[in-house]
Amino acid sequence: MKHLDEQPMLSSLLRVAPVGFLSLLLLLSCAVNAWLVPMERSLWIQGRAMAPLPAGYFILLFAFQWFFCMSIHLTLPRFFSRKQKLFFIFAVALICRLMLLGNAPSNDMNRYLWEGRVLARGISPYHHAPDDRLLDSVAKQDPFHENINHPHMTAAYPPLMVALFSLLGKLWYHPLAIKGTLMMLDLGTMAFLAFLLAHRRLDFRWLALYAFNPVILWAFAAEGHFDVIQCFLLAGAICFFDRKKWGWMFLLAGLSVQVKYVSLPAVLFLINRENFRHVWIALVAILLPYGLFSLAFATENLHGMFQGILQFGESFAFNGSIHALLRVLLGEIEPATMICKVFLAVLLIWGLFYFHPERNSRYRNDPVSGCFYILACILLLAPTVHFWYISWVIPFLVLHPSRPWMLLCLTIGIYFVTYGLYHHTGVWRLPLWAYLCEWVPFYGLLILQGVFFVKQAGSGMETDPPRTVSVVIPAQNEEEHVASCVGEALKDNAVTEAIVIDGGSSDRTRKRALEAGARVLEDARSLKKGGGRGGQICKGIQAARGDLVAVVHADTLVKAPGFTRMCDVLERQPRLCGGALGGLFASRDPKLGLINFLNDLRVTFLGISFGDQVQFFRRKSVADKLLFPCIPLMEDVEFGIRLSKLGPQVYLFGNALVSPRRWKTRGFGNAFTVITGVGSYLLKRPGGTPDTKAMYRSYYGKKEATDKESK
């Protein structure tokens, strides 16, 4: 008995081992920085650094951390409860941040501390630059003044931020005072994102995309950039939007503008008819700090408070994408900046008409898409894009995963070539090859995503809140499994019908399905006449009456409230057309565990789900457009691609139990067969419809295919 009791514990430990190992590697990568940074600096001094890839070790470290982040997201055990997932993510995230807290901060920190001290002395940092001779006596006593970047420039930050720096400086005039505060707000951002994931019925594992993202770790915990305050306030504002706490929402939204001016257009997507009368709170939060500063420094002109930010925006350009191309074509910064401003104004106006929750039913009661859109536009058109600027959109990746932006979180690591070149030459620049490596892969995916977006915008997809689910179950000779499949599905309150489409069984499949409470249809057409699993599912979709259709294989069990969750997710995010629930093999074989991982990896990064992962979708749009293909093999892959023309899809990382029987029969080598088959199909698809009947014969064997074709 003792041995039997230990087996489940041993199995659980084995299932936790991958995420534990990856988390340990992530923590080690953070710890390694403590001694590699001083070593790297000594190598630069001694002139022994490798010229082809300056700061190469750090770029590699950054890339490893990105892979660890994505892998932890995928390997977080499904058997963890929601509380266990949150505890695990927050615990590892906190340790990572504590390890990086001692990292040398960005030289921007010198300006934070200096401007706070100047303000504490009753002097306006908006009217007296760090190199102002009137401040010589203060500068001589200040340990951070010497390393301030651009000392000829006055303060570019909004007055609330300068006041915060002043307050923290009075408490402790040290970078750790600011970095410690930023770390707490960083964790607060995670708390807000966790609430938003819970409200949208999404898995907490998506929080890993923020918690362990190397951009976030290095921008905030390591270098101490205050952009995290904007992330915190905007995430909080959206939380209060969901709760309809309009006063708090507008307060946080207004304060976010006092952190970064780029937040202002995002605030517009939070305003609707219901909360418009509370807009004054945001206006007070935005304008009051300016008023208080004007009273405190009545002898100074108000224009001086914006001189620094205007000078930064007009005179500096580094690592911008579209702006850089315009600068090359036009030869100067000023005309390129002007064109980008015009583009941004046009995109903002269009975005307010398309993405605003009041204007488009796809984004009903959800301002996330609009905020994400406008901040992304600002990043694409900005003259200067430092690596930490990407943090502006990362909180939105947790809620609306975007493959191009997830990829940019990796390629932005090439930015650190600049650090190496600065050590070598004292010049802050990014080589052309590094610039191309940073931006070209991102724009390649972004253009592809744009093509799908244009198709989705004109798809006419219904957006009504789904209430009912029709479960469509294709089956043939499944008497051992079909009753359990139907029975489990009907236990879910959202399921109003289970439709079994029999492909011509020679056993008691139809009888067992009827006894379990299913409606049974028959589709015994040959492959030549549109038969096979694709044809069966098509017939089930046309017969279905639910708001949603979920396709479940007969050897798969979906326990309640799996189908209810599908309805909840699509109700809270009308922009979604469907997606996949996700499943696990009903076996603890480590090889099948690897297949589970590869399945999750494929859906997350390629957007291709398989039938045994329980595809679901809005019925009317799919049925009216006849989107489901009547093909005998690859019907799930083809449908997933077609469904993307309606709208974005979601992956729920669900716990549908999938029978491992085919893998036990065919062996682990079946994984190679499936991968090559899908790859071959995707390669042939652009040239026309692949011969799925031939693929069916190759996969199932000539005898079974011949029997099916002869019916």
Rg (CA), the chain: 28
273 CB neighbour count, 10 Å cutoff: 7
**Domain edge (last residue) among 401, 421, 441:** 401
DSSP 319: B
Tell me if residue 133 falls in helix, strand or coil.
Answer: helix
Q: Is there a single domain that holds both residue 507 and residue 606?
A: yes
Q: Is there a single domain that holds both residue 380 and residue 478?
A: no
pLDDT tens for 238-252 read: 999 999 999 999 999
Q: Is there a single domain that holds both residue 541 and residue 661?
A: yes
What is the residue range of 552's domain?
A: 469-709
Distance of alpha carbon 247 from the chain centroid: 28
**Domain edge (last residue) among 401, 417, 446:** 401
Within-domain flag for 431: no
Q: How many domains does the chain fold into?
A: 2
Q: Is there a single domain that holds both residue 396 and residue 536?
A: no
Q: Is there a single domain that holds both residue 394 and residue 486?
A: no
Within-domain flag for 159: yes
Q: Is there a single domain that holds both residue 482 and residue 600?
A: yes
Q: Is there a single domain that holds both residue 396 and residue 477?
A: no
Q: Is there a single domain that holds both residue 170 and residue 288?
A: yes
Within-domain flag for 571: yes
- Whether the CB-CB separation of 654 and 596 falls below 8 Å is answered with no
Name the band, by pLDDT with cuts 50, 70 and 90, for residue 18. confident
Q: Is there a single domain that holds both residue 382 and residue 475?
A: no
What's the CA gap between 541 and 550, in Å, rounded? 9
Supply the pTM of this predicted model: 0.92
Name the band, by pLDDT with cuts 50, 70 and 90, for residue 708. low
Q: Is there a single domain that holds both residue 138 and residue 258?
A: yes
pLDDT tens for 125-168 read: 998 999 998 888 889 988 999 989 888 999 889 999 999 999 99
Q: Is there a single domain that holds both residue 489 and residue 372?
A: no
The CATH number of the domain holding residue 541 is 3.90.550.10
Within-domain flag for 687: yes
**Domain edge (last residue) among 365, 382, 401:** 401
Q: Is there a single domain that holds both residue 388 and residue 517?
A: no
Within-domain flag for 260: yes
Within-domain flag for 430: no
**What Cα–Cα distance (Å) separates residue 206 from each residue in 34, 400, 410, 550, 564?**
28, 10, 17, 23, 20
Sheet holding 615-618, edge to edge: 519-522, 495-502, 469-475, 548-551, 615-618, 578-580, 649-651
Within-domain flag for 215: yes
pLDDT tens for 175-216 read: 999 999 999 999 999 999 999 999 999 999 999 999 999 999
pLDDT tens for 41-71 read: 433 333 333 333 446 778 888 999 999 999 9
Within-domain flag for 520: yes
pLDDT tens for 531-567 read: 788 999 999 999 999 999 999 999 999 999 999 999 9
Closest to 375 (Cα-Cα) out of 225, 263, 272, 267: 263
